[in-house]
Chains A and B, each alone.
Chain A
């Protein structure tokens, strides 16, 4: 049962524009949410996170928004750059399951010049 869902397998955005990647979750016990970025032939690398007590976290060009009532989070990348082209995984964890990360299936972002 997929508790974290990324319903868009792919997204194409022009360089300089905003990229918005979406993620939905079903488990109300999740209290920590993360985004990972993955290039081919590499492991995922941590990008940004947010705890359930916040609704927004910003780090440079990357902002994560959390809407707990809708069980939805999103990652905004502004402005998008060609180097941002990668697969982005949304992940969530809960204290009652030892904080093991539950991942979505990923969204492949292509930023075109």
Chain B
């Protein structure tokens, strides 16, 4: 157990639907990162939050959004889902805002869009 908790572990939904993925960071970590791993891609950085504020943005689609709540857990919202959104979504956390090395990853949420 890495200390980063992601729920649900698996999610199957239909095209056009909206889902919410949840992440609880490791105790004491203020930064949360979201990554997407598709079948033929490496881990693609989506977005980072630090202590409730958006810190950095990567290849996140406009149909996707995220937020970090006062208790530091984060949610990634995916809407108007397409077949190509099927992927593993990882959350990671770290103590600092700028931390290229202190990431701890959760075990991921596998999203299948049918």
Contacts and interface: CB of A to CB of B under 8 A. Distances in A.
B58 A100 contact: yes
Contacts of B43: 44, 89, 91, 101, 103
A41 B35 CA distance: 15
User: In which size bucket is the chain A interface?
Assistant: 20 to 34
19 contacts: A4-B42, A34-B100, A41-B107, A43-B2, A43-B4, A43-B90, A43-B105, A44-B105, A45-B105, A46-B104, A98-B98, A99-B98, A99-B99, A100-B33, A100-B48, A101-B33, A101-B45, A102-B45, A103-B43
A42 B92 CA distance: 12
A2 interface: yes
B58 A2 contact: no
B64 interface: no
Interface string B70-86: 00000000000000000
Given A34-B100, A49-B101, A99-B98, A105 B42 contact: yes
A105 B41 contact: yes
A81 B106 CA distance: 25
Interface residues of B, number: 27
Given A4-B42, A42-B107, A43-B108, A32 B101 contact: yes
Interface of B: 2, 4, 33, 35, 40-45, 48, 55-56, 58, 90, 92, 97-101, 103-108
A41 B43 CA distance: 15
Contacts of A93: 100
A6 B105 CA distance: 21
A34 B106 CA distance: 18
A21 B45 CA distance: 22
B76 to A, nearest CB: 15
- A-B pairs with lowest CB-CB distance, top 3: A43-B105, A93-B100, A98-B56
A101 B42 contact: no
Contact of B42 (A2, A32, A49, A97): A2
